[in-house]
Structures are given as structure tokens and as C-alpha cells.
Amino acid sequence: MFHKEGQKIIITTFFLVVALILVAQFYIDLEWIRYAVQIVALVLLILVLQFFRNPRRPVTPNFDEILAPVDGKVVVIEEVEEPEYFKGKRKQVSIFMSPLNVHVTRYAASGTITYSKYHPGKYLVAWHPKSSTENERTTVVLHTPKFGEIGYRQIAGALARRIVNYAEEGEQVTQGQDAGFIKFGSRVDLLLPLDCDITVKLNQKVVGAKTCIASLRKKDD
């Protein structure tokens, strides 16, 4: 299954690849060059199809856990000062997505969208410390039944040139539901309450809508 955001690119790439294969077949005499062009064209199509894949991941909503919003690797776990919305300290967990990862953004928890804003910006590499505040990004906050308000940022990387954000203020959303898409390399920051327990480690690979990122702190902790 492929994400709807990739439909135009997939169709365009498919016809270009077919055209390249036919041109190579009928107009390139040297056999090794003809095969090389055809193989490169097919590899290009496979890469595009892989990038826009959207695997189904059924989720039974769990109000006691924050799930990974995307596939990727945890590159930051730290306490930060969040000036845009919370205007205070938050626990930040950042997940970097390479071009080989699934790039669908999914809601990490169920709740109500209370804030959704797009920010134009730079295209620093996604793991750069300033990418969270200087790159093109969207900031979304949702109010959850048990964690209160949690936030996340979709951040464009050096290759990303388009962030798709479905979150609209006042909307009720469900954990695991599509929240958007970032095209070609990117990062997502989760902004969580200080009193939650982070359940992942640095450099850990996580799976969107499956890996638990944070849970409620036990009362006796």
C-alpha cells in the first residue's frame, strides 16, 4: 500500500521509467549500455515506491502510552526549554528518518488538537541541533486524557522540501491515525511532560504506531 501523498510522483516516475526502458531498447545499440540504463530506471522506480510505502499498522488506542509517531532512530533525549507554545521545560525525544524509512507521520496519542502551526525556515541537516527551531517545520499540540498536552514537530531536513500536516485545531484524533507526511529525509521531535517516563534509548530504532516512547510515571516512583 502506498501513501496518497506519493500518487502523483509514483505515476510520473512510472511513465518516465517506461519511456526510458523503451528508448534504451530501440535506440541504444550497445547491449551493456542499454541494460545499464534499463536497470537504473527500474532501481529509481523501486526507490520511489519504497519511499512512499504506507504499511497498515492497526492500533488499539492506549491512553497510558505515547507511541512513536514515525519510523527511524532516536537521536535526542533531553530536557529542553520550549518557547513557542508551552513556554517552559519539556522532555524532548527526537527521531531521525533516513530516506529508506517509512515517512508517514502518525498521531502518537489520542486526543484533541489544540494548536497547529506551519513555520517556513532553513533546510539544515535533520540531525543538526538548530534544525528544531530554524528549519521548515510544523508544530502540533494535542490534549490527551492522561498526559495532558503533548506536542510534536515535523522538521524538514536537507533533502525534504515539503511537509504535509493534516492536524487541524479542534479536531479529535486517534492514536496511530495518519497525521501527515514529510518528503525525503526528515525528523520529528516529541515534546512531552516532565513527569512521564521515557521508555526508549539513544540510537534505538523505533517503529511508528508500535514502539512505546513514553509511559505514565508510577505513583510510587
In a 3-state reduction of DSSP, which class is residue 16?
A: helix
Query: Cβ(181)–Cβ(105) under 8 Å?
Result: yes
Q: Where are the beta strands (DSSP E) in 157-206?
A: 163-165, 172-173, 178-182, 186-192, 196-198, 205-206
Q: Which three cell numbers stand for residue 38?
A: 534499463
Task: Round to whole Å and give the CA distance between 137 and 152.
Answer: 10
* Backbone φ and ψ of 21, nearest 5°: -65, -45
Record the cell numbers describing residue 83, joined without a space. Answer: 518557547
> Which of 101, 182, 93 is CA-nearest to residue 132?
93
Selected catalytic residue, list 131, 132, 186, 215: 186
State yes or no: is 186 an active-site residue. Answer: yes
**How would you class 37 by CB atoms within 10 Å of its CB: exposed for 0-12, middle for 13-18, buried for 19 or more?**
middle
Q: Which helix (H) or strand (E) holds 90?
A: strand 88-97
**Residues with a known catalytic role:** 186
